[in-house]
């Protein structure tokens, strides 16, 4: 069992639609922001095990390096859900918005 969460700074459209498009690899409605990069770096510095459940992956970034500044998708395992309060706090501190796939509502 896992739970999906998406985070970004600015995007065009409804958060659920943006989240759905991200799941399909479509980042065209998102604007780049260094805040997303700081959030991504902070997550990986705090929890190295997130590297395996974080998108865009290093492999994805080889083809689309700008995506590192557009969004972060996390697929958290039940064990990793303990991280969620701090993840949400880090997102808020970086001025990010997002969507919870499991709750079906904006973050």
Q: What pLDDT sits at residue 59?
A: 87
Q: What pLDDT sits at residue 24?
A: 87
Cα–Cα dist 51/23, whole Å: 17
34 near 101, Cβ under 8 Å? no
Distances (CA, A) of 67 to 34, 41, 63, 104: 11, 13, 9, 23
pTM of the model: 0.93
The series of mean pLDDT values per 10 residues for the chain, 107 residues long, is 91 93 90 96 96 91 91 94 96 96 89
């Amino acid at each position: 069992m896992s739970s999906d969460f998406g985070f970004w700074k600015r995007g065009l459209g409804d958060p659920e639609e943006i989240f759905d498009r991200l799941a399909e690899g479509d980042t065209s409605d998102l604007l780049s922001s260094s805040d997303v990069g700081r959030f991504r770096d902070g997550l990986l510095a705090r929890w190295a095990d997130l590297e395996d459940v974080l998108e865009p992956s290093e492999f994805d970034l080889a083809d689309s390096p700008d995506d590192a500044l557009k969004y972060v998708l996390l697929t958290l395992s039940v064990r990793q859900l303990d991280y969620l309060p701090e993840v949400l706090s880090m997102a808020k501190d970086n001025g990010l918005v997002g969507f919870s796939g499991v709750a079906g509502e904006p973050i």
